[in-house]
């Protein structure tokens, strides 16, 4: 079946490269839709969507961008325009995948367009930036980055092979039919190593009841991915056992999921059960990487690459207020489960992060701030990893969900 692949790029500087991959895609029997995001000059061939249209969609004038000579402002506007037009084209079902080639600027424009597409839509970018920190480009979407090896600056023995592979990759992706999925409702769950027993038990209970559970590792990117998929409407319910990413956001650890963590389910009205898993810890890399201002804090070397820092009583009180504020905005069924005997595997009697006062401050802040007309509050004299605690969370979520067919 013939598919349409969107090519997003700067045709004023990389027209020959785009013409090359366009022709390869046509040779495979597919169509292309070419979008020009170049600002510096005229395209080397006529695109389907011109740069002036992309600029307008980004809230700018192409003439003014050229006159201003501000590369950063131009990239921002063209990225916004490319993203808006890509989403519109996808909504109109006129594209099936996206391919781009570029350096840092071209990659930033193309990646912005790719990140607005749902998971599963083929997205391939050949980039000089692919061998470095790719997080700003990928976000939490399934963007495929291919390192260009040489600069994206003309056609040569190396670049032809790399570009041909990229064209073949995106063609293969749009040709590939995923196996038909069943209609089993999906549940999202969040987990850390120190909350694994709880989440495993919750998952097993939900799966026994006929649901499919997708578990996200609460490492920042995991939390962002979960929030994004919740917002995209993938989930019937959420078992957010492990809200630890808020510790890193508040204190300055390395695994923050950003300030929007806990927003998606609340805004969408998705039934959710939430707990306080691993709110006793902030994450850093190897011990030597811990900032000097934290060196006198309670630290625990989880492994050579991960050092954990115990949250203080004041930080726990702040975390309680933040989580209460997030959950108070929920428009759907929401229940907060509080494990009074500890929030992680190492927050228990005899364990290195056992700090009853810090936990007490966390729990009290939640009692003080939570709107119990909006959010059910369940306090259990159990540890987060006790089987009965997991059972209680699973039972409450199941009570709100329709039984799978």
Structure confidence by residue, pLDDT tens digits, 40-62: 899 989 999 999 999 999 999 99
Q: Is the pLDDT of residue 325 over 80?
A: yes
Residue 25 near residue 100, CB atoms below 8 Å: no
Q: Is the pLDDT of residue 65 over 70?
A: yes
Burial (Cβ within 10 Å: 0-12, 13-18, ≥19) of residue 291: exposed
Domain boundary among 175, 194, 210: 175
Average pLDDT over residues 16-30: 97
Q: Render pLDDT for 232-282 as a digit per residue (tens, 0 to 9).
A: 899 999 999 999 999 999 999 999 999 999 999 999 999 999 999 999 999
Q: What is the pLDDT of residue 252?
A: 96
Q: What is the pLDDT of residue 309?
A: 97
**Is the same domain home to 166 and 297?**
no
Q: Render pLDDT for 288-310 as a digit per residue (tens, 0 to 9).
A: 999 999 989 999 998 889 999 99
| Position 355 in a domain | yes
Q: What is the pLDDT of residue 321?
A: 98
Q: Is the pLDDT of residue 180 over 70?
A: no
Q: Is the pLDDT of residue 177 over 90?
A: no
**Is the same domain home to 153 and 237?**
no
Confidence of residue 179 (pLDDT cuts 50, 70, 90): confident
**Is the same domain home to 190 and 167?**
no
Q: What is the pLDDT of residue 183?
A: 76
Beta bridge partners of 125: 100, 145
Give the count of beta carbons closer than 10 Å to the beta carbon of residue 69: 10
Residue 248 near residue 237, CB atoms below 8 Å: no
Q: What is the pLDDT of residue 139?
A: 83
**Is the same domain home to 231 and 152?**
no
Nearest 5 degrees, angle CA 343-CA 348-CA 226?
A: 25
Q: What is the pLDDT of residue 133?
A: 80
**In total, how many domains does the chain have?**
2
Quote the domain boundaries for residue 295: 186-398
Q: What pTM does this model have?
A: 0.80
Q: Render pLDDT for 114-158 as a digit per residue (tens, 0 to 9).
A: 999 988 999 999 999 988 888 888 888 899 999 999 999 899 999
Strand (E) or helix (H) holding 373: none
Q: Render pLDDT for 185-222 as a digit per residue (tens, 0 to 9).
A: 999 999 999 999 999 999 999 999 999 999 999 999 99
Handedness of CA 67, 71, 77, 78 (dihedral sign): positive
Distances (CA, A) of 339 to 39, 58, 196, 198: 56, 48, 15, 11
Q: What percent of the chain is predicted at pLDDT more than 90?
A: 89
Residue 197 tokens read as: 């027993």
Handedness of CA 345, 338, 330, 315 (dihedral sign): negative
User: What is the overall mean pLDDT for the chain?
Assistant: 95
Domain boundary among 116, 141, 175: 175
| Position 16 in a domain | yes
| Position 180 in a domain | no
**Is the same domain home to 156 and 13?**
yes
Residue 374 tokens read as: 């909006």
**Is the same domain home to 278 and 236?**
yes
Beta bridge partners of 144: 124
Residue 262 near residue 279, CB atoms below 8 Å: no
Q: Render pLDDT for 338-364 as a digit per residue (tens, 0 to 9).
A: 999 999 999 999 999 999 999 999 999
Average pLDDT over residues 385-401: 98
């Amino acid at each position: 079946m013939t598919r349409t692949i969107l090519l997003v790029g700067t045709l004023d500087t990389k027209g020959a490269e785009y013409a090359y991959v366009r022709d390869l895609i046509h040779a495979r029997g597919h169509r292309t839709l070419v979008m020009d995001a170049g600002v510096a000059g005229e395209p080397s061939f006529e695109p389907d969507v011109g740069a002036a249209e992309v600029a307008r969609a980004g809230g700018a004038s192409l003439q003014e961008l050229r006159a201003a000579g501000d590369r950063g402002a131009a990239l921002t506007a063209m990225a916004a325009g490319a993203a808006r037009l890509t989403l519109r084209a996808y909504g109109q079902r006129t594209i099936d995948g996206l391919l781009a080639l570029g350096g840092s600027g071209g990659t930033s424009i193309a990646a912005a367009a790719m990140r607005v597409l749902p998971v599963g839509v083929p997205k391939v970018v050949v980039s000089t930036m692919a061998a470095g920190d790719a997080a700003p480009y990928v976000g939490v979407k399934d963007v495929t980055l291919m390192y260009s090896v040489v600069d994206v600056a003309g056609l040569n023995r190396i670049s032809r092979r790399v570009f041909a592979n990229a064209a073949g990759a995106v063609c293969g992706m749009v040709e590939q039919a995923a196996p038909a999925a069943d209609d089993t409702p999906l549940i999202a769950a969040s987990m850390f190593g120190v909350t694994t027993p709880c989440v495993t038990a919750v998952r097993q209970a939900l799966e026994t009841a006929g649901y499919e559970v997708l578990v996200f590792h609460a490492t920042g990117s995991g939390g962002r991915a979960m929030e994004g998929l919740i917002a995209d409407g993938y989930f019937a319910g959420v078992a957010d056992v492990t809200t630890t990413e808020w510790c890193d956001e508040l204190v300055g650890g390395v695994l923050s999921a950003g300030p929007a963590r806990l927003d998606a389910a609340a805004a969408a009205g998705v039934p959710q059960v939430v707990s306080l898993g691993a709110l006793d810890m902030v994450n850093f890399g190897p011990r030597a990487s811990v900032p000097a201002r934290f060196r006198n804090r309670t630290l625990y070397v989880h492994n050579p690459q991960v050092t954990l820092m115990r949250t203080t009583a004041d930080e726990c009180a702040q975390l309680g207020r933040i989580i209460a504020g997030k959950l108070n905005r929920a428009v759907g069924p929401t229940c907060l489960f509080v494990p009074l005997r500890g929030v992680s595997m190492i927050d228990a009697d005899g364990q290195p992060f056992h700090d009853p006062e810090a936990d007490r401050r966390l729990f009290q802040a939640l009692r003080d701030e939570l709107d119990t007309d909006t959010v059910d509050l369940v306090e259990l004299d159990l540890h987060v990893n006790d089987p009965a605690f997991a059972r209680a969370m699973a039972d409450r979520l199941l009570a709100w969900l329709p039984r799978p067919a």
